[in-house]
Chains A and B, each alone.
Chain A
Amino acid sequence: MTGIVGSNFLKVDARDKVTGRAIYPDDIYFDDLLYVKVKRAPHPHAYLRKLDVSKAEELPGVVKVITATDYPDLNKFGLIIKDQPVLVGIGEKMRYLGDALAIVVAESREIATRALDLIRVEVEELEVISDPLRAMDDDAPAIHEDGNILITHYLDKGDVEKGFAGADIIVEREYRTQHIDQLPLQPEAGVGLYDEESGVIKLWVATQWLHDTQADIAQSLGLPREKVRIIQPAIGGAFGKREDISVHIHLALAAMATGRPVKLTYTREESMITQSKRHPMIIRAKTGATKDGYLTAWQVEVIGDAGAYASSSPAVVHKGMYHCTGPYNVENVRGVSHAVYTNNTYSGAMRGFGTTQMAFAYESQMDILAHELGLDPAQFRLQNAYQVGSLTPNGQVLSRSVNVRETIKKAIEMSDWKGVRVE
């Protein structure tokens, strides 16, 4: 085995990227290109009562304004649960500020933007739920028909009661994390073209799930998959944010409705309001340890703010819970996690997929325990860290390549850590 592992290779598309020749979605132009803009919800939780697009349609240069009325048979979409509407129809609910009410197609970006201001919207406001704890109240209005708790998962290993009974010290704390945007440098963008003869919609647009995205677009439009072609141009970063549908279905509709090539590029602000975020989490952790510094039990309750739509929440929040003990051996673990709908921008995938929020909680717990026990936090970690043969909270035996102890030792060495003096 020579030549592959441990060798450097030049990235195949780097030459195109350093010369500016790499083509990203927004770099694609056609002579008769039309520009698309989306009218978003004016309120994060409301029924749409009236939508008057007539003034926008009258604006010179506007080619088409599409609303749910034009396409009454569109199906909802979503990565795991199909709960997100393509367009909010009259009498239907908008659930966050990113929900689409109308799609404007015009001869220029500027005209399309102007037309948005000419769309009249009348809504019936509902209570806005921005806190998942409020969403879990019995008297909170249901954001979706089946209630606000999107999904609950449980975790059970060993016997936590026994574990806490055997602890000399128990630390119980609540941790909260905030929304974070993945912020890929290229905002969501795409170009669409509809071939009337073959009925094929071509989309030049970035996605992290090419075939799933194709399938989701097709089911939403009620078309067979082969009628949707996605061409993946250069992708300007993703980090989880491009797992969800963004411009895709709106582009397809605009292309079909006009028969001309169409382009939709989000502003940064629109990208922030509309597309997924890292989940804010409320993490309640209870950890027991012996006075010589061994963990005996760990219990955790996790509440993840899913925002308005499910996206990856059914997978992210409980993945966070499974990592509740971090890389530390604990025999007795119990956990419950809830992904909860709110009227915030929906949460989804972001690097770490729920585990980074948890790291804040478990490493804080470790520091607090070490402090209370009068132990050096590095040593305390070292003596509890995973090794080959460790059993994770969800029952996985770590059979090889477990390097956390070496990592801690190396970190101690490199940082010249002298330990903390216990007073």
Chain B
Amino acid sequence: MKESAARSGNRQGTSGGDFKDCFRPEDYFTASKYFAPESLKEAVEILEGYGGDLKVLAGGTDLLVEYYERLYEVKGWLDLKNIPGLKEIKVFEDRIEIGPLVTHTELEKSENIKEYYPVLNRAAADVGSPQIRNRGTIGGNIITASPAGDLLAPLMAYDAEFKLVSTRGERIVPVGQFFTGPKRTIISSNEILSRIIIPLPGERTYGSWCKVGKRKALIISSITLALVVKFNKERVIKDIRACLGAVAPTPVEIKEVRKRARGKRIEDLNFSELGELVAERISPIDDIRGTAEYRRDVAREIMINALEEIAEKAAE
């Protein structure tokens, strides 16, 4: 892909006498190929052949917006829609496997997701709008890797792993190692995300979800928080995950919370102190969706709210 092609387009970013920004017609390619293979094997073979020239297409709700804004050029599409199994939610003894083409609507409606991963369920219900939830997928949300991707903090809070396949085999990557920066992940151009694997949380696991944005629908989050707490029989905290979105280049877990809270009862925790800890440890930026200062203030408060919500649920 030529840098000039990517930078031009309807933003018309040319300026001064810089003729380098112009390019010849033959440099210009629109998506002229479309593959809809019927097996994963076939899909990775096609991808191997084309490499970065193809975009792997799931729901398209992010990809197509960017394509028509001409933020990238592409030779064609590899549409996963005909591959069997990629739209399934499968329950195993110790885990649930979610196909990458499962939509936000399906996550919202699935009884299994509701029961085992309520935070993921509620995050999916908060995505976009009915139109977006019906097309947008969990796989797309992961691969797009927006720091504000609504499903990412919940996936982190539930210790999800991602299965990536290529012609050379497959690998399983924990969510904590997958995201490397805004819209950047470790996936290679010849790999396809084929499964999202989440361990079953076990009894006495409670979660809380909070999304803050300028409006309820169709908003890129200013901040998200997924808090998941596991208790033992004695109501002592076995494990805790406080994960946030839109406050750093990638979704983040505030690991310090684990150290402070593990082995304690929730009523013995100082919620304000933990709120403060979260506010301190995130690294938000100033942008159109809020200032860093605002995000720290909000992070503190939603952390406190989340702990209160879980304390209440656990007491029931």
Contact = CB atoms under 8 A, between A and B. Distances in A.
B22 interface: yes
Nearest to B11: A269
A288 B3 CA distance: 60
Interface in A108-161: 110, 113-114, 116-123, 125
Interface in B14-28: 14-17, 19, 22-25, 28
Given A40-B12, A55-B22, A114 B17 contact: no
Nearest to B5: A117
A326 B24 CA distance: 58
B13 A42 contact: yes
A102 to B, nearest CB: 11
B12 A55 contact: no
A82 interface: no
B30 interface: yes
Interface in B222-240: none
Interface in A250-281: 267, 269-270
Interface string A12-44: 000000000000000000000000000110110
A49 B17 contact: yes
A58 interface: yes
B25 A118 contact: yes
The binding surface of chain B is classed by DSSP as: loop
B25 A121 contact: no
The binding surface of chain A is classed by DSSP as: mixed
A397 interface: no
Contact of B19 (A43, A59, A120, A267): A120
B181 interface: no
Interface residues of A, number: 24
A42 B19 CA distance: 12
A59 B28 CA distance: 11
Contacts of A113: 10
Nearest to B68: A267
Contacts of A123: 15-17
A113 B19 CA distance: 18
B28 A117 contact: yes
B8 interface: yes
A43 B8 contact: no
B9 interface: yes
Contacts of B25: 55, 58-59, 114, 118
B183 to A, nearest CB: 20
Contacts of A49: 17
Given A40-B12, A125-B16, 4 more contacts: A117-B9, A118-B24, A121-B14, A122-B16
18 contacts: A40-B12, A42-B14, A49-B17, A55-B24, A55-B25, A110-B30, A114-B28, A117-B8, A117-B9, A118-B23, A119-B22, A121-B14, A122-B16, A122-B17, A122-B19, A123-B17, A267-B10, A269-B10
Interface of B: 8-10, 12-17, 19, 22-25, 28, 30, 69
- Closest 6 A/B residue pairs (Cβ): A122-B17, A42-B14, A117-B8, A42-B15, A43-B15, A120-B22
Interface of A: 39-40, 42-43, 49-50, 55, 58-59, 110, 113-114, 116-123, 125, 267, 269-270
